[in-house]
Amino acid sequence: MSLIEINQGDITQLSVDAIVNAANSSLLGGGGVDGAIHRAAGPELLAECRELRGCATGEAKITKGYNLPAKWVIHTVGPVWEGGNYKEDELLASCYRHSLALAEQYQIKTIAFPAISTGVYNFPMERACKIAIAEVKKFLLQTSSLEQVIFICFGQTAFDLYSKTMQEVTET
Ligand code: AR6
């Protein structure tokens, strides 16, 4: 089993310790992957999210997973793409770093990430994918209790891109 895996599918179906949610700063739900996670987890998730009182862009907060197969949900808020000159790259990298740090803190062994910011927030997929893979690789080079990090791609295009980028990173 490889430490980093690229899979295609629906993140809400995964039996991992934690799934990451691409949330907004209210943490009160929305569309896309956020909506799917809240639907699958049930109303208790929203109740716990209310108590968190929001989350800044680039940061992350954790809740239980309720009706999801995953035990935990790590909610992170990606940047809205505004052309690239508004610290979008740094903020996206920060989402991955903060999510992984929280995972470590909760002794999470297996975690799955969606392609944060690449939907409604419009971050270019290829650029986001490079950042995601680079940050996870960097994190795993430190002492880490994580045993598996899954990038879950929603659709063939994302899957092909992640696979290609992963291969490029491994070869260089
Ligand atoms: N499993 C895995 N990936 C998914 C799923 C799923 N079930 N559904 C969508 N994706 P988005 P963002 C992919 O828009 O861009 C919400 O309203 C999707 O194809 O969910 O960070 C929040 O509340 C895309 O590649 O998140 C915020 O307001 C990726 O997940 C806002 O959207 C992220 O797309 C956040 O926007």
* CA 140 – CA 84 distance, rounded (Å): 27
Give yes or no for a contact between 149 and 3, defined as CB atoms under 8 angstroms apart.
Answer: yes
The rounded Å distance from CA 147 to ligand 1 centre is 25
* Number of C-beta neighbours around residue 76 at 10 A: 27
Give yes or no for a contact between 22 and 116, defined as CB atoms under 8 angstroms apart.
Answer: yes
The rounded Å distance from CA 31 to ligand 1 centre is 7
Check residue 171 and give its pLDDT: 78
* Number of C-beta neighbours around residue 35 at 10 A: 11
Check residue 1 and give its pLDDT: 45
Q: Which two tokens stand for residue 105?
A: 């803190």
β-strand partners of 4: 149
Residue whose CA lies nearest to ligand 1 atom number 11: 119
Check residue 2 and give its pLDDT: 57
Residue whose CA lies nearest to ligand 1 atom number 5: 33
| Upper half-sphere CA count for residue 75 (Cβ side, 13 Å) | 27
Check residue 144 and give its pLDDT: 77
CA dihedral of residues 19, 72, 12, 134 (deg, nearest 10): 0
pLDDT tens for the chain, residues 1 to 172:
459 999 999 999 999 999 999 999 999 999 999 999 999 999 999 999 999 999 999 999 999 999 999 999 999 999 999 999 999 999 999 999 999 999 999 999 999 999 999 999 999 999 999 999 999 999 999 877 899 999 999 999 999 999 999 999 877 6
The rounded Å distance from CA 53 to ligand 1 centre is 21
pTM of the model: 0.98
Within 4-88, strands assigned E span 4-8, 18-23, 60-64, 72-77
User: Amino acid identity, residue 124?
Assistant: P
Q: Give, in words, the CATH class of 4-171.
A: alpha beta
The rounded Å distance from CA 93 to ligand 1 centre is 17
The ligand 1 site (C-beta within 6 Å) comprises: 10-12, 22-24, 30-34, 36, 78, 114-121, 152, 154, 158
CA of 158, closest atom in ligand 1: 25
